[in-house]
Copies of this chain bind each other. A is one copy, B any other.
């Protein structure tokens, strides 16, 4: 049986600044331009954060979010996967507000949004100073907030993607499937964290990945991506490609100094090469839509 084609997501900018990587896009024009470049290389999903076009500051401006979708759709059939106002905004309603606005117009309705399936401390440890950089950051996603995000996005025609950081996220996703808050096939993303001693998540190693995959229900038709924040993702991505999953990459998760600060499109090209070496062909955006059960493609 032929191996399932590989879905590649590009995570173009997150909250990273150009001091980290010179290739982090800020404006809608830059974000959409890079997304389309990545699509030409083989990416089928684009995850992005709206940013102030001049300063790069995080933004929840609905027009900045919507403009990205419009520009992308002029040139491609990429699956659009904008972020929520997660780290900035305290309530689920505020986090989802720009998505609800975007969904009112089919031309700017995004295909999917991330739902982080946990509440956790979110402090980074500094190994050199032997101290935490913060001691009181809590990323709150109560069961009620997660339920709201799933129910509301279902009502507006946007697909919630289960973002799994730990084993409890696997169990919670199963419960949400049983409750009908997620639909089969589950579309989920395993997020690993490469930094040493962070106060959340699994290490960005093949072992860190498998310690989550081992708890996926048998015979489940889950379509899962793997992403890595804070470290070189290629070992974990190779693990995902071998295990039949999909992959995400981007200059914002890791600047890739060791590769001479490549662009997002260059990273996608590297993933395509790795996949071919390992015997996986790359899915087009249209094929990815079918595999993920996404209707979309408006506008």
Contact = CB atoms under 8 A, between A and B. Distances in A.
Interface in A197-237: 197-203, 207-208, 211, 214-215
A256 to B, nearest CB: 23
Contact of A171 (B118, B178, B203): B203
A142 B136 contact: yes
A138 B141 CA distance: 9
A125 interface: yes
A132 B121 contact: no
B203 A167 contact: yes
Interface string A150-188: 000000000000000011100110110011000000000
A147 interface: yes
A121 B123 contact: no
A72 interface: no
Contact of A120 (B120, B198, B207): B120
A286 interface: no
A interface, size bucket: 35 or more
**This protein's copies in its complex:** 2
Nearest to A123: B143
Contacts of A136: 142-144
B201 A143 contact: no
A211 B123 CA distance: 23
Given A125-B175, A127-B178, A167-B203, 12 more contacts: A118-B121, A121-B168, A123-B143, A130-B178, A167-B201, A167-B202, A167-B211, A171-B197, A172-B197, A174-B197, A207-B214, A207-B215
A205 to B, nearest CB: 9
